[in-house]
Structure 1
Amino acid sequence: MSKGIWISMIACLLIAGAGAGGTYWIHQSAERDLNEGPLLAAAGQTQTAAQPAAAKAKKTRKEIIEDSQKRVVTIESGEGLGSGFLYNGKGDLLTNAHVVAGSRDVTVRTMSHKEYKGKVIGIGTDTDVAVVRVTELKATQPLQIARSNKAEIGDEILALGSPLGLENTVTTGIISGLGRSFDIEPYTYSNLYQISAPIAPGNSGGPLVSAETGDVLGINSASATDEAGIGFSIPIASVLKQAEAWSEHPMSELPDVSSDDSDDYDGRDTLADSQSTVASFYQSLNAGDYVTAYSLLGSDWQSKTSYEDFRSGYLKTGYISIGTLTAEEQDGGAMVSVDITAEERRDTGTVYQTYRMSYSVGYENGNLKILHGKGKKVD
């Protein structure tokens, strides 16, 4: 399918990037079926003697995740918040250009919550990739890189990063498509991996890792949010030579790749990011991940509703269909409105009730949170 035809099937695009936000939407409307409950309720095999002594034991998925997380970081810049990962022995991190655009100096935070000062030593103007150097991390072993395009449809993968500011998050899936291409000014994306692992704002720059080998296959960069479980990752082999060139010869001056080049690109697009926060809240509930859903609530809401009460309030609610998400600016955030239809299990049987919901979304400690919510039944 040609690039033009493929793009014609997609309205717009989400860069899953900076600012526990920084997103472009593919069909920003109809964020698919998310979930909420009562809407305002607050053994391993032993090595045999015949096995060669030099044979390297295959890592379990848990071991791959644990090893990878130690080399994945959260990056905070003037554009907001994103992710990155160590790719060489010099303390150099790979990330997306849109995560660090407009910044020379950034803050890097590791899994152990240690913070370091990082310096952008290379950044693309039309390719969404950048390199950040943290000299204090040069003694840390980097992730293993897949130096050629080895991924195939059906390969199991892991996506690591800090979606919505939730650090050390891992999602799983498969390579669900190959060769996807599109443009989001000022960047051109070519021959991307399409993945089923859920990614969200803040994931940008994080590694796409093989669930079998632990090798980095790509850089997670964008998400199609009206189609459940569709994300996009830049193949690592397509940008590795450029990254290595920057590591060998750092840029003395950085080119201007700020958001001025595109009205659509904004590391803190509050309206889109607020919609994404509400969408992620529903997605978490739909998956039964009440911990993540609860973490998206603001401190005031949490102070009035314990986690136990929050969780129990949703146990009799099944699948929820969500309509078009709309957002209006308000001081320090946005008001997000949406109509949903909830599957409610009652003593008399299962009913489907529609509600009109409104959520006040704003920043707390640099991350978007759902501060308050209200709703009413729709006959």
Structure 2
Amino acid sequence: MMNNGMDNQPPQPHPGGPTGENSPENPPENPQPPNENIAANPVVPSSTHGAPASGPVPPVPPGNVQPGPMATANVPPGVAPPAGPPAATKPSGWKLLAGALVIALLAGGVGGAIGYFMADRTEVVASPSMTVSDDTIAAVAADVSPSVVAIVSGSGEGSGVIYSDEGYIITNNHVVAGADSVTVRFSDGRTDEAVVVGADPSQDLAVIQVENTSDLQPIRIGDSSGIQVGDLVLAIGSPLGLEGTVTSGIVSALDRAISVGGDAPQGPAGATTLEGLIQTDAAINMGNSGGALVNGNGELVGVNTAIASTEHGSIGLGFAIPSETAADVASQIIETGSVEQPYMGVAVADVEDGAMVLRVDPEGPAAEAGLEPGDIIVAIDGEDILRGSDVRTYVSGTEPGQSVEVTYVRDGDTGTLRIDIAAQQAGN
């Protein structure tokens, strides 16, 4: 799933709403897209911990971003990708999206610079793996639509899915972050006020709760780990304020990583990497943020969060946070009001056959153990590390207090050290 400086912070939204201070007529000057893969889950940025991170950071080119109240980033054609790690290594796994694509959040109402790199994890397929009738799609849409809501907040408009009959609703953090009030509109036309229970900006997820819990239809949570490329999916939400909009498509790829970032007022500045995402060609647009991505059985398999686009609309490159991640984060928020995550304290970039350490949180476990910027992590507990996302995936599967053995290469010499995984609380 799922951050940042070194933290995974939420992606920033695509424009499409009313004009305002940060509208396309009044663009901010020279924002810069992020250019590194965030490894730990999440990796803490120096800006949130009071001490600067150390280590080499590849330069990034200036972007011509024009955020508005429903902001996007318009990356000009011909912009070169950011420089990679030092010349001795060969960066891999990232590619510039063709046609000056941008990764944009799907809520209306907030500005910010958007990253435009995507990790190439799984081959995209062009055709579904099975034939599905219109009747099947219609039945699923009718069944699921009452479980999807429209959300209006100070940050703009988005969508959400009803998680429980106690009034808890899952949405994206960027939909409700910084909002003084949140209004929920249900599929039957009812409206209710909601409060933000908690959020995990590192995974762009939040939970809100409505007061009136009568006649709620919680969505069924599916097994996102079991979906396959080519499976039928439906995206349901409120794009451009058009509530209850249903589109269909397939799972185009799995385990996608997108890099987003910016200085939107609803979240901390810096680069954010969301990983483990589901890619779909089901049309999703502004206002779909927090809405449902469901399978052919009407079960939630993803929470829609971002699109890659050359304009203000969908071109068949949408991304969703897996339902297992969303449900895990939601349950922690409901129980404790926050999310505890395993934390190693490094930011890494893809290099050939490993993950180069770009930065180390000076107060984190990795620094205490002796890991340094420039080290190349090649294995953890004997398991090969082939790219930066492998570090994040491994760390996310550990428990705070667990000790892991990291094998690394420094100046041509191989060494090992043990790192005690710490606990980190995601911001509320």
**Which of the five TM-score ranges fits, normalised by the shorter chain?**
0.5 to 0.7
Specify which of 111, 115, 127 is matched with residue 203 of structure 2: 127
Q: Which amino acid aligns with 2:164?
A: N
Tell me if 1:189 matches 2:274: yes
SS at match of 1:137: coil
Q: Specify the alignment match of 1:335 in structure 2.
A: none
Are the counterparts in 1 of residues 103 and 259 from structure 2 also a CA contact under 8 Å? no
Matches within 5 A, 1:143-292: 143-185=219-261, 187-210=272-295, 212-226=296-310, 228-250=315-337
Match of 1:14 in 2: 104
Give the SS at the match of 2:240. helix
Q: What is the RMSD of the two structures over their aligned residues, measured on CA atoms?
A: 2.7
Number of residue equivalences = 219
Mapped partners of 1:183, 1:24: distance in 2: 8
What is the identity, as a one-letter code, of the residue corresponding to 1:13? I
Please give the per-residue CA displacement for 1:265-290, whole angstroms capped at 9, x wherever unaligned: xxxxxxxxxxxxxxxxxxxxxxxxxx
How far, CA to CA, are the matches of 1:167 and 1:238 in structure 2? Answer: 25
The CA deviation at 1:118 is 0.6
**How far apart, CA to CA, are the structure 2 residues paired with 1:5 and 1:209?**
32
Q: Residues of 2 paired with 1:14 and 1:180: CA distance?
A: 15
Could you give the per-residue CA deviations for residues 209-229 of structure 1, whole angstroms, max 9, x where no partner exists?
11x210000000111113831
Percent of aligned pairs sharing the same letter: 37
CA–CA distance in structure 1, aligned partners of residues 106 and 306 of structure 2: 5
| Amino acid in the other structure paired with 1:16 | L
- 1:69 and 1:168 map into 2 onto residues whose CA distance is 6
**Following the alignment from structure 2 to structure 1, what is the Cα–Cα distance between the partners of residues 285 and 92?**
26
Give 1:13-162 correspondences, 5 Å limit.
13-19=103-109, 24=114, 60-137=136-213, 139-162=215-238
Aligned-pair CA distance for 1:149 = 1.3
Residue identity matched to 1:17: A
Q: CA deviation at 1:65?
A: 0.6
What letter is aligned with 1:214? Answer: G
Q: CA deviation at 1:238?
A: 1.8
CA offset digits 1:228-248 (Å, max 9, x no partner):
311111111123212111112
Q: CA deviation at 1:20?
A: 9.9
Code of the aligned partner of 1:19: G
Paired residues of 1:91 and 1:139 also in contact (CA < 8 A): no
TM-score (norm 1): 0.53
Aligned AA (2:259): D
Measure, in 2, the Cα distance between the counterparts of 1:182 and 1:20.
19
**Distance of aligned partners of 1:150 and 1:5 in 2 relative to their CA distance in 1, 3 Å threshold:** same
- Structure 1, unaligned runs of 5 or more: 28-58, 252-379
Q: Distance in 2 between matches of 1:5 and 1:157?
A: 30
1:225 partner amino acid: S
Deviation at 1:107, TM superposition (A): 0.4
Alpha carbons of 1:104 and 1:5: their partners in 2 closer, same or farther (altered >3 Å)?
farther
Q: Which amino acid aligns with 1:248?
A: E
Cα pair distance change 1:134/1:147, threshold 3 Å: farther
1:183 offset after TM fit, Å?
2.5
Per-residue deviation, 1:89: 2.3
More helix by share: 1
Question: Counterparts of 2:107 and 2:232 in 1: how far apart (Å)?
Answer: 23
Take 1:15 and 1:190, find their aligned partners in 2: how far apart are those partners?
Answer: 15
User: 1:153-189 CA deviation, whole Å, 9 max, x = no partner?
Assistant: 0000000111111111011100001111122235431
Residues 314-368 of structure 1 show CA distances to partners (whole Å, capped at 9, x for unaligned) of xxxxxxxxxxxxxxxxxxxxxxxxxxxxxxxxxxxxxxxxxxxxxxxxxxxxxxx
Q: Please give the per-residue CA displacement for 1:123-160, whole angstroms capped at 9, x wherever unaligned.
A: 11211000010131365130100145121100000001
Aligned AA (1:165): G
Letter in 1 for 2:317: I
SS in structure 1 opposite 2:236? Answer: strand
Change in 2 beyond 3 A, CA 1:23/1:135: farther
Contact 2:96–2:116 under 8 Å retained in 1:
no
Report the TM-score, using the length of structure 2 for normalisation.
0.47
Quote the Cα distance in structure 2 between the aligned partners of 1:21 and 1:216: 29
Q: What is the deviation of 1:5?
A: 4.0
1:343-362 aligned within 5 A: none
Aligned to 1:305: none
- Aligned partner of residue 170 in structure 2, secondary structure: strand
Kindly indicate whether the alpha-carbon contact (under 8 Å) linking 1:15 and 1:23 is maintained by their aligned counterparts in 2: no
Hey, what does 1:53 align to over in structure 2?
Answer: none
Contact 2:258 2:275 (8 Å CA) reproduced: yes
